[in-house]
C-alpha cells in the first residue's frame, strides 16, 4: 500500500470509529457526512500527527546533531548515555501514565473524559517530580562517591525531566481529544523555541550536555504556556474516583505489566549503548547514536500513525467491533512492512551522502554499518503493529513476554556479538533482539485472538464529549 493509501486508510478508520462511538441508531452530524466527501479534510488528522511528530523529534534531532558536531566523540557519548537514561525514564512514565491513559481514556472511561483527565494530569505532575528528586539525588551521590559517573548532562536531565515528560503528556491528551492540530501546534512552538535557543547557545559557545537539556525543557515550557488551556479539563466538580473508587486497582492491573516491560525493553535498543560503553568505549557509543539518529525518522513516522491508530483500535475493542479491529491491524501491518522496506532501500542508496552532510564528514567511516542498521525498522515494524493490537486489547502481559525474550537475546546473543565484532556486533545484536521481539509478539497475537472486551466497556460517547469528532 502506498503512503497516500495509508493516509486515507487511517483517516477513514478514525471517522468510522467516531461514527460507532457517537450513537446507537442516530446518524452523525452533517459536517461529518460532508467530511467523508472531502479527501483533504480526511487527511488532516494524519497530516497534523506527522507534523507533530516531525517537529517534536526535530527539536531533539537538532540538539543531537549540534552536540555531535561541536563536541568530542567522548563528550557526545556521555550525553548519549544520559539521553538513554531519559529514554528509560520515559518508558516508566509511559507505563505509569501515558499507556493506561490512552487505552482507558479511549475505551472504557470515554464517558468521563474530563474527570479522568484531571486525575491523570495530577498523577503526571507527581510522577515527574518524583523522578526529578530521584535524579538530582543520584547526581549528589555520584558527585561525592563516584565522580567518574557525574556529568553535566545528568544534572541537566535531573533538572528538566518533569518538564520533558509533561510535554509528552500534553501532546498525548490532544490525540485522545481528537485534536491533533493542537498537538502539532504545541510541537511547532517547541521546535521554534529550541532552534532559537540552540542558535544562541552556539553563538555564545555555551552548548554542552547541561544546556542541551535546558534548551529542550525551555521548548516544552513555551509550548505548555501556549496550549495548556486547550486541554478539556471541563468544569471542576465531580472527582473521577468518586465514580470509579476501584480505579487504581484497575490501573495497576494493566500498568504493572507495562511497568516491568519498561525495564526489559531497554535491553532491546537502549541497552546496547551501555553494552558498547562497557565492552568497547564511549567513543563507540557516540558512533552508534549518530547512526541511529539517521534511521529514527521512520520510527517517528509510525509513532505518528500509532497516535491515531491505538485509540481507534481501543475504541473498536471496547465496542466489541472485532472485524473492524482485525481489519485495521492487517492493513496497517501490510503498509508498515512495505514502507519500512522502502526506507531500507533509501538508506542503502543515500545513506553515505546523508551521514556526510549531517555530520560534516566526522562520521563518514560508519556508512557501511548504516545500511545494516536501516534494516532494524523492517524487523521491528511489523512487531510494533502486533504491539498496538495487544495494547488495545488490554493484554500488556504478552507484550512483556516479548520484550523479556528480546532482552534474553540481548544478554546471550548481543553481548557476545559486541565482544567479538565490536560496533558491527552491536548492530547485529540489535537486529537479533528486534527479530526475537517481533516473533514472540506474533505468537502472542495469533494464540490469543479476538477476546471480547470487559463488560464495563462503554458503547457510547455522550454528545459534547471531547472524544466525539
Q: What is the largest CA-CA distance in the chain?
A: 67
Number of other residues whose CB lies within 10 A of the CB of residue 48? 23
CA gap 94, 96 in Å, rounded: 6
Where do we find the cell 452530524?
29
Q: Is 50 exceeded by the pLDDT of residue 26?
A: no
Query: Average pLDDT over the chain, rounded to whole?
Result: 80
What is the DSSP-derived secondary structure letter of residue 223? H
How far, in whole angstroms, is CA 457 from its chain's centroid?
A: 26
CA torsion angle for 318, 319, 321, 324 (degrees, to 10)? -70
Which residues are CB-contacts of 48 (< 8 A; sequence separation ≥ 6)? 180, 181, 183, 184
Q: Is 90 exceeded by the pLDDT of residue 101?
A: no
Q: How confident is the model at residue 221 (pLDDT cuts 50, 70, 90)?
A: very high
pLDDT at position 449: 55
Q: How confident is the model at residue 37 (pLDDT cuts 50, 70, 90)?
A: very low
Q: How confident is the model at residue 43 (pLDDT cuts 50, 70, 90)?
A: low
Q: How confident is the model at residue 144 (pLDDT cuts 50, 70, 90)?
A: confident
Number of other residues whose CB lies within 10 A of the CB of residue 357? 10
Q: Is 60 exceeded by the pLDDT of residue 14?
A: no
350 burial via Cβ count (<10 Å: 0-12, 13-18, 19+): exposed
CA gap 49, 14 in Å, rounded: 13
Q: Is 70 exceeded by the pLDDT of residue 134?
A: yes
CA torsion angle for 30, 36, 41, 46 (degrees, to 10)? 120
Cα 279–Cα 57–Cα 61 angle in degrees, nearest 5: 55
CA gap 196, 45 in Å, rounded: 28
**pTM of this prediction?**
0.69
CA gap 394, 388 in Å, rounded: 10
**Lowest-confidence segment of 30-34, 210-214, 324-328, 360-364 by average pLDDT:** 30-34
**Lowest-confidence segment of 60-64, 348-352, 398-402, 453-457 by average pLDDT:** 453-457
Amino acid at each position: 500500500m502506498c503512503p497516500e493509501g495509508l493516509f486515507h486508510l487511517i483517516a477513514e478508520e478514525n471517522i468510522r470509529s467516531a461514527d460507532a462511538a457517537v450513537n446507537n441508531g442516530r446518524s452523525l452530524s452533517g459536517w461529518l457526512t460532508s467530511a467523508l466527501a472531502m479527501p483533504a479534510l480526511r487527511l488532516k488528522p494524519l497530516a497534523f500527527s506527522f507534523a507533530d511528530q516531525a517537529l517534536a523529534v526535530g527539536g531533539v534531532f537538532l540538539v543531537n546533531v549540534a552536540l555531535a558536531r561541536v563536541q568530542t566523540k567522548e563528550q557526545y557519548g556521555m550525553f548519549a548515555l544520559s539521553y538513554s537514561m531519559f529514554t528509560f525514564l520515559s518508558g516508566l512514565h509511559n507505563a505509569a501514565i501515558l499507556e493506561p491513559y490512552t487505552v482507558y481514556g479511549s475505551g472504557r472511561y470515554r464517558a468521563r473524559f474530563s474527570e479522568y483527565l484531571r486525575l491523570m494530569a495530577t498523577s503526571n505532575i507527581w510522577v515527574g517530580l518524583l523522578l526529578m528528586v530521584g535524579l538530582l539525588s543520584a547526581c549528589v551521590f555520584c558527585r561525592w562517591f563516584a565522580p567518574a559517573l557525574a556529568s553535566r548532562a545528568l544534572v541537566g536531565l535531573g533538572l528538566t525531566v518533569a518538564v520533558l515528560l509533561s510535554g509528552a503528556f500534553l501532546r498525548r491528551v490532544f490525540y485522545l481529544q481528537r485534536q491533533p492540530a493542537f498537538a502539532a501546534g504545541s510541537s511547532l512552538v517547541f521546535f521554534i523555541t529550541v532552534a532559537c535557543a540552540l542558535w544562541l547557545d552556539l553563538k555564545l559557545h555555551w552548548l554542552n550536555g547541561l544546556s542541551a537539556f535546558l534548551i529542550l525543557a525551555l521548548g516544552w515550557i513555551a509550548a505548555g504556556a501556549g496550549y495548556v488551556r486547550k486541554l478539556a479539563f471541563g468544569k471542576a466538580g465531580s472527582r473521577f474516583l468518586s465514580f470509579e473508587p476501584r480505579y487504581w486497582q484497575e490501573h495497576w492491573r494493566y500498568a504493572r505489566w507495562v511497568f516491568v516491560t519498561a525495564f526489559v525493553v531497554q535491553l532491546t535498543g537502549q541497552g546496547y549503548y551501555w553494552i558498547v560503553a562497557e565492552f568497547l568505549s564511549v567513543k563507540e557509543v557516540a558512533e552508534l547514536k549518530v547512526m541511529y539518529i539517521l534511521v529514527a525518522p521512520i520510527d517517528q513516522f509510525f509513532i505518528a500513525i500509532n497516535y491515531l491508530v491505538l485509540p481507534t483500535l481501543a475504541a473498536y475493542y471496547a465496542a466489541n467491533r472485532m472485524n473492524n479491529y482485525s481489519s485495521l491491524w492487517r492493513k496497517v501491518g501490510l503498509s508498515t512492512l512495505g514502507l519500512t522496506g522502502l526506507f531500507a532501500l533509501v538508506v542503502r542508496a543515500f545513506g553515505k551522502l546523508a551521514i556526510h552532510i549531517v555530520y560534516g564528514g566526522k562520521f563518514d567511516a560508519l556508512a557501511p554499518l548504516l545500511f545494516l542498521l536501516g534494516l532494524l525498522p523492517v524487523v521491528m515494524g511489523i512487531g510494533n503493529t502486533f504491539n498496538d493490537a495487544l495494547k488495545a486489547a488490554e493484554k500488556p502481559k504478552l507484550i512483556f513476554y516479548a520484550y523479556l525474550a528480546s532482552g534474553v537475546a540481548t544478554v546471550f546473543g548481543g553481548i557476545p556479538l559486541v565482544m567479538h565484532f565490536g560496533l558491527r556486533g552491536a548492530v547485529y545484536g540489535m537486529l537479533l533482539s528486534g527479530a526475537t521481539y517481533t516473533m514472540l509478539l506474533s505468537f502472542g497475537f495469533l494464540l490469543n485472538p479476538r477476546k471480547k472486551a470487559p463488560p464495563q466497556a462503554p458503547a457510547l460517547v455522550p454528545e459534547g464529549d471531547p472524544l466525539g469528532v
